[in-house]
Structure 1
Amino acid sequence: MLHPIFGLARVNFLSLTLVCIALAASASWQAGHLLSPILLALVTVTGLCAHISVNALNEYLDFKSGLDFLTNRTPFSGGSGTLINHPAAANLALVLAIVSMTLVIAGGLYLSYQLNWQPLLIGIPGVLLIYGYTRHINRWPLLCLLAPGIGFGIFMTLGSYWVLAGNISAAAWLLALIVTLLVSNLLLLNQFPDVEADRQVGRRHLPIVIGRRHSASVYTLLLLLSYLLLIAGVISRILPWQCLLALLSLALVAKVLPGLSRFADKPQQLQPYLGLNVLLCHLYPLLLALGLIWAGQANY
C-alpha cells in the first residue's frame, strides 16, 4: 500500500517544496524576524500537503484521460506511472488528493486564525491553482507556463515568508520572482518529451503551440531574467551581496543551455539535461538561502 502512495504523491519531487520553504525561512531570519519552530513546521506540512495534492490529482486525471498510456516517461517527466502498474489505486489517488487539499485548507485557516487573514489572499488562489492545473490550465499556453512558477514562487515561497515574518518585503518579492522563473522553466523543459502525447488529450502548453525550438528560447530568456533579478537585487541593496553565491549555479547553466540548443528537437537525447535542470532549480535557491544565512541577521 505504501509504494503506490509514495508514487502517487511523487515523493521524490517533494524536495522542491522544502527548498522553497527553506529559502523563505532564511530570508525571514535574515530580515530580523525570530523563527518559531512550531510555525515553521506547520508551514512546511501545509506546503508539502499542497504539493502532494497537485501531484496526486495530476496522477488521477492523467490516468483517467488516457494520457498515462500515451506518454514515454522519463525520470523527470510523464508522471510516475504508478496507476499503470496499480490501476486499482486510481480511487486512492483521488482520495489522497482530496485529503491533502483538505489539510491545506485546514492549515491555512488555522494560520489565518492565529495570525491574520491577509495570507488568505495567497492561500485561496493557491487552492484554486491545485484544483485547476491539470484540468484547465494546461489548455492555456501562457498560463500553463507561469502557473507552476507562481505556485512555488508566489504562493509557496512568498506565502511562507509572509506567515513567518508577518509582512512582505521587497527582498521576499524578489526571491519569490526568481523562484517563479526557475520553476516555470522546470515544468517548461519537462514538457518537451510529452508534446505528442499531450497534444492527443487536448493540452496546449508552449512546446505544443510554438514548438520545442522556440520554447527553448523562452527557457533561456526566463533563466537569464532570473540572474538579472539577482544582480539587480544586490546592486540595489535589496539583497545582501552574499546572495551572489547563487552565481555558482551558472556552472550548471553552462551545461544545460548548450545541451538544450543541440537537442531541443530530440527529447530522448535531452533527458540528461532535464536532470541538470532539476538540479539547477534546487541548487540556485539553496545557494540564495546560504547567502542570506552568510549575511547574518539584519539589525533593525
Structure 2
Amino acid sequence: MRHRAAVSHPAEPAPGAFPNRAVLLFLATRPAFLSVTLVACLIGLACAHRSGASIDWTTAVFTLLFALVAHAGVNVINDYHDAESGADAANTKRLFPFTGGSRFIQNGVLSAAETGLFGYALLAAVVPAGLWLAWQAGAGLIVIGIAGLFVGWAYSAPPLKLMSRGLGELAIALGWLAVVVGTDYVQRGSFSVLPFAAGVSYALLVANLLFINQFPDHDGDAAAGKLTLVVRLGPQIAKWGYLLIAILSYTWLVAMVTIHALPQYAAAAAMTLILSFTAARELIADASAPDELAAPIKRTILATNVHGLLLAATLAFAQSGISA
C-alpha cells in the first residue's frame, strides 16, 4: 500500500542539495548509524588480541570496511522496502534523522528503483570480500557471513520481513553479535567463547536502539501494516520492553565478569546503565508522545557506543587474567 509523502522537515534531504553523486549515495546509507558496526568490530579485534592472536591489520581493515558496507546496504534496503510498503511515507511523527528512514525516496532525492539497486549492490560487493577473508581465515567465516547477510536481508525484505513480524530486535541482536564473532574469527582463525561472552551485552543494546526508534514511527508503521513489536504491543505496554532489554544486557555483562568469562575491568562498561536507565525512564514517561523522544534516543545511541568502546578497551588492555 502506497501513501502520499508527508511534508518534509527543513533538515531533511532535498532534490539538488547534493551536486556530488558520491556524497549523495554516502548520505543515503544513514552513515551516522554506522558507528555501531565500527564499535562491534573493535570489540571483536579486542577479543582476538586478548586471546593472544597477532592482529593482521590488512584483514582487520578489510573486515571493518566491508562490515560497514554490509550495514550500509542493510540500511538502504530497509529504506527501499519501507518505501514499497508505504511505512516511511505515512510516517508524519518521525524524528529525523533518527527515525522514519533517510527520506531520500519520499523527498524525491532518489527513486525507489535507484535506492533498491544501490542497496543490493552494496550487499553484493560484500560477497567477494567475504570469500577472500574466509580464504585467509577459515571456512567458518562463510557460515558467519551467510548468516549475517541473510538476517540483514530478511530484516526488511519480503517474504520474511522479520521486523514486521515482531522479530526485528532478535534479528538485530543476532546480526551485531555476528559482527563481533566474525571480526574475532578473521584474526583467530577459529571460534571462541570470548567474543560471544563479550558481544551479547553490546548486541542487546544495539537492539534497544532499534526498539526505541519504533515509538515515533508507530503510527506510520501501523498504517502500512508493518507490525513491529511496538505496533503489536502498543506503546504503553511496549515501553517496558526497553527496560527489560537493558536489564538483560547489563545482567549478562555482570554474569560474564562474575564467572570470569570476561576480565574484571570489563564491568566498567556497566557504567553506561546510567544512560540506558535514564532513557528508559524518559521513554516510560513519554512513550505516546513522539516529540519528546529525541533525548532518550540520543541517550540510547550514546549508551550503546560508549558501552562497546569500554568493552573493547578493557578487553584489549586489562591485565586481569581470563582463559582464551
- Answer yes or no: same fold by TM over 0.5: yes
Q: 1:43 to 1:167 in 2, by over 3 A?
A: same
Which region of structure 1 is more displaced relative to structure 2, 35-44 or 91-100? Answer: 91-100
The C-alpha deviation readout for 1:105-158, integer Å capped at 9, x for no partner, is 1111112222221122211121212222112112211x22211111112x2111
2:106 to 77, 84, 88: 84
| Amino acid corresponding to residue 106 of structure 1 in structure 2 | P
1:280 to 298, 303, 323: 303
| 2:31 paired residue number | 11
Secondary structure in structure 2 of the residue aligned to 1:188: helix
2:89 to 47, 66, 69: 69
The question of 1:32 aligning with 2:52 is answered: yes
| Amino acid corresponding to residue 157 of structure 1 in structure 2 | V
Structure 1 runs of 4+ aligned residues shifted over 6 Å read 297-300
The question of 1:2 aligning with 2:27 is answered: no
TM alignment of 1:181-196, pairs within 5 A:
181-196=204-219
Q: 1:296 to 1:256 in 2, by over 3 A?
A: same
Deviation at 1:65, TM superposition (A): 2.7
Tell whether the 8 Å contact from 2:235 to 2:287 is kept in structure 1 after alignment.
Answer: yes
Distance between the aligned counterparts of 1:159 and 1:214, measured in 2?
A: 35
Secondary structure in structure 1 of the residue aligned to 2:99: coil
Which region of structure 1 is more displaced relative to structure 2, 82-91 or 238-247? Answer: 82-91
1:57 to 77, 80, 87: 77
Tell whether the 8 Å contact from 1:158 to 1:176 is kept in structure 2 after alignment.
Answer: yes
Secondary structure in structure 2 of the residue aligned to 1:244: helix
The question of 1:246 aligning with 2:269 is answered: yes
| 1:149 paired residue number | 173
Tell whether the 8 Å contact from 1:49 to 1:101 is kept in structure 2 after alignment.
Answer: yes
The question of 1:263 aligning with 2:286 is answered: yes
TM alignment of 1:99-178, pairs within 5 A:
99-135=121-157, 136-141=161-166, 143-153=167-177, 155-178=178-201
Secondary structure in structure 2 of the residue aligned to 1:193: coil
The question of 1:197 aligning with 2:220 is answered: yes
Distance between the aligned counterparts of 2:110 and 2:37, measured in 1?
A: 29
Distance between the aligned counterparts of 1:124 and 1:211, measured in 2?
A: 34
Tell whether the 8 Å contact from 2:74 to 2:119 is kept in structure 1 after alignment.
Answer: yes
Deviation at 1:93, TM superposition (A): 1.7
Secondary structure in structure 2 of the residue aligned to 1:84: coil
The C-alpha deviation readout for 1:157-194, integer Å capped at 9, x for no partner, is 11111122222222211122112211111101110111
Tell whether the 8 Å contact from 2:173 to 2:204 is kept in structure 1 after alignment.
Answer: yes
Tell whether the 8 Å contact from 2:243 to 2:277 is kept in structure 1 after alignment.
Answer: no
| Amino acid corresponding to residue 274 of structure 1 in structure 2 | I
Secondary structure in structure 1 of the residue aligned to 2:185: helix
Tell whether the 8 Å contact from 1:31 to 1:297 is kept in structure 2 after alignment.
Answer: no
How many residue pairs get aligned? The number is: 298
Deviation at 1:296, TM superposition (A): 4.4
Distance between the aligned counterparts of 1:9 and 1:22, measured in 2?
A: 21
2:239 to 216, 221, 246: 216
Show structure 1 runs of 5+ residues with no match: none
| 1:293 paired residue number | 316
| 1:179 paired residue number | 202
The C-alpha deviation readout for 1:67-103, integer Å capped at 9, x for no partner, is 2221133121111112223344433322321221112
Identity %: 29
Deviation at 1:34, TM superposition (A): 0.8
Tell whether the 8 Å contact from 1:4 to 1:89 is kept in structure 2 after alignment.
Answer: no
**RMSD after superposition:** 1.8
Which region of structure 1 is more displaced relative to structure 2, 100-109 or 289-298? Answer: 289-298
Which region of structure 1 is more displaced relative to structure 2, 283-292 or 158-167? Answer: 158-167
| Amino acid corresponding to residue 233 of structure 1 in structure 2 | M
Q: 1:94 to 1:156 in 2, by over 3 A?
A: same
